[in-house]
Amino acid sequence: MGYRLAEQNGESVAVPRLVFAHLARADGDTIRAALYLLGGGGTDPRTMARDLGMPSIEAAKRAMQYWAGAGLLVSDRDAPLPKTECRKLPPST
């Protein structure tokens, strides 16, 4: 049984290739957090955890720290964030 994408189902949100580069490594909560952030959900960890059904506020904080280290988010604090390695994807054609 094959599948294809359905015709337009609402608004579209651009997802940076950076997120795709982390699909194999990041857990489900971390990927969902990226989509939530890109969709305009905001960076309040309590709200994110509640909206996404995450197990804790700490899980939301860890997800945001992961994406800050990967370069998707910029921290408001002056402290440098750890870099997250990512694999390069081939250019899209």
Domain tally, the chain = 1
pLDDT at position 60 is: 98
Q: Residue 75 domain-assigned? A: no
* HSE-up (13 A, CA, CB side) for residue 40: 4
Q: Residue 62 domain-assigned? A: yes
> How far, in Å, are 18, 27, 37, 38, 81 from residue 52 at the CA level?
21, 14, 11, 14, 24
Look up residue 60 and give its amino acid.
A
Residue range(s) defining the domain that contains residue 49: 28-70
Model pLDDT for residues 24-82, shown as the tens digit of each residue = 999 999 999 999 999 999 999 999 999 999 999 999 999 999 999 999 999 887 555 45
Q: Residue 57 domain-assigned? A: yes
DSSP 1: -
DSSP 75: -
pLDDT at position 77 is: 74
Q: Residue 83 domain-assigned? A: no
Q: Residue 44 domain-assigned? A: yes
pLDDT at position 76 is: 80
pLDDT at position 61 is: 97
Shortest CA distance to 72 belongs to which of 33, 28, 44?
A: 33
pTM for this prediction? 0.77
